[in-house]
């Protein structure tokens, strides 16, 4: 999906910035909804060989390579496991001291920036404060409160809020069924993630099982207890379990099941404290 569709207001705002050539050297994109797509688009604007009134053409060699994250002067950093390690950032700061391969400009996208190890964050801070080359840094986070305050204060903070109804409409336009688009719009922060999930058999099966579980919670808690094994089998890792809880929150809200909703919030707290997923579900039923 185009960035102009994902975040139309921010698209207009940044279009004006690009046309005036006023792009800052460091941004903190907070909120997640479309932030990576925007960082890629802005990176394309830095390297595009055929700018259209300051905006990237999207079809030249540089734009195509940036879109696939294969451009030599674009550096994308993601957590290794649950952490962005100090060594990753130190390797990056070495890049900052050099000129780009294709030109003077470089771009850096750091995903899940809140997962930077404190030493990694401090290593990055110096590069933000005293850039040695022409580098534009995009820090992406879903929790800006976990970003080192000294880094946050030295970046331009941009909030990527999600309009779930608009997001659902975009997904429906892309060919998804209304019900499927509705659930995906609630739990996903990017169109790419939503479209990817829509193709996963486990996700469709999982939604159906959660809907059955919600019905049983309302009509027969004893049967709901016996049904837990069905959920544990399909939601078999942390990422899937997090989605299960988010979907349950939405389903209980939709059915106006206040007691179950409150139990789900408590179960999520337990799960985040490393209580087993099955034990958290059992707490919800008993």
pLDDT band at 1; cut points 50, 70, 90: low
| Predicted confidence (pLDDT) at residue 204 exceeds the cutoff of 80 | yes
Distance CA 274, CA 107 (A): 37
| Predicted confidence (pLDDT) at residue 100 exceeds the cutoff of 80 | no
What's the confidence (pLDDT) of residue 132?
67
What's the confidence (pLDDT) of residue 30?
94
**Position with higher pLDDT, 123 vs 213:** 213
Other CB atoms within a 10 A radius of the CB of residue 122 amount to 15
Distance CA 63, CA 40 (A): 9
| Predicted confidence (pLDDT) at residue 167 exceeds the cutoff of 80 | yes
pLDDT band at 82; cut points 50, 70, 90: confident
User: Listing from the earlier edge strand, what are the strands of the sheet with 74-77?
Assistant: 74-77, 105-110, 134-141, 26-30, 156-159
Distance CA 128, CA 130 (A): 6
What's the confidence (pLDDT) of residue 96?
77
pLDDT band at 94; cut points 50, 70, 90: confident
What's the confidence (pLDDT) of residue 2?
81
The 3-state secondary structure of 155-199, one letter per residue: CEEEECCCCHHHHHHHHHHCCCCHHHHHHHHHHCCCHHHHHHHHC
Domain ranges of the chain: 3-161, 200-285
Q: 60, exposed or middle or buried, with CB in 10 Å at 0-12, 13-18, 19+?
A: middle
The sign of the dihedral angle between the CA atoms of 28, 33, 37, 41 is negative
Distance CA 43, CA 74 (A): 8
Distance CA 32, CA 142 (A): 5
Distance CA 259, CA 284 (A): 9
- For residue 193, what are the contacts with CB-CB under 8 A and spacing of at least 6? none
| Predicted confidence (pLDDT) at residue 34 exceeds the cutoff of 90 | no
Model pLDDT for residues 135-163, shown as the tens digit of each residue: 899 999 988 989 999 999 999 999 998 87
User: φ and ψ at 81, to 5 degrees?
Assistant: 80, -120
pTM above 0.85, yes or no: no
**Position with higher pLDDT, 114 vs 103:** 114
Average pLDDT on 46-69 reads: 96
Average pLDDT on 18-45 reads: 93
Element (H, E) at 106: strand 105-110
Q: Under CATH, what is the fold of the domain 3-161?
A: Rossmann fold (3.40.50)
What mean pLDDT value characterizes the chain? 90
What's the confidence (pLDDT) of residue 98?
76
Average pLDDT on 56-63 reads: 96
Annotate 206-236 with b (16+ C-beta within 10 A) or e (fewer). bbebbbebbebbeeeeeebbebbebbeebbe
């Amino acid at each position: 999906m185009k960035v102009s569709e994902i975040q139309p207001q921010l698209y207009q705002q940044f279009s004006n910035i690009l046309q005036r050539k006023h792009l800052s050297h460091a941004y903190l994109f907070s909120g997640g909804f479309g932030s990576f797509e925007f960082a890629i688009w802005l990176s394309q604007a830095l390297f595009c060989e055929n700018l259209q009134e300051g905006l990237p053409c999207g079809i030249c060699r540089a734009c195509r390579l940036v879109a696939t994250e294969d451009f030599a002067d674009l550096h994308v950093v993601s957590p290794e496991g649950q952490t962005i390690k100090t060594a990753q950032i130190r390797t990056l700061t070495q890049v900052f001291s050099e000129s780009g391969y294709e030109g003077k400009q470089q771009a850096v996208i750091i995903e899940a920036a809140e997962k930077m190890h404190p030493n990694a964050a401090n290593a990055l801070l110096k590069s933000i404060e005293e850039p040695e080359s022409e580098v534009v840094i995009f820090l992406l986070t879903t929790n800006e409160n976990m970003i080192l305050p000294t880094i946050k204060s030295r970046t331009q903070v941009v909030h990527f809020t999600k309009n779930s109804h608009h997001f659902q409409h975009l997904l429906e336009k892309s060919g998804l069924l209304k019900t499927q688009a509705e659930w995906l719009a609630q739990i996903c922060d990017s169109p790419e993630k939503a479209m990817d999930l829509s193709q996963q058999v486990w996700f469709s099966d999982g939604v159906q099982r959660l809907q059955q579980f919600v019905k049983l919670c309302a009509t027969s808690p004893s049967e709901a207890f016996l049904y837990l094994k069905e959920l544990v089998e399909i939601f078999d890792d942390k990422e899937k379990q997090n989605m299960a809880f988010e979907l349950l929150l939405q389903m209980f809200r939709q059915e106006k099941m206040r007691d179950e909703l409150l139990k789900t919030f408590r179960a999520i707290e337990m799960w985040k404290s490393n209580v087993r997923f099955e034990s958290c579900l059992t707490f919800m039923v008993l």
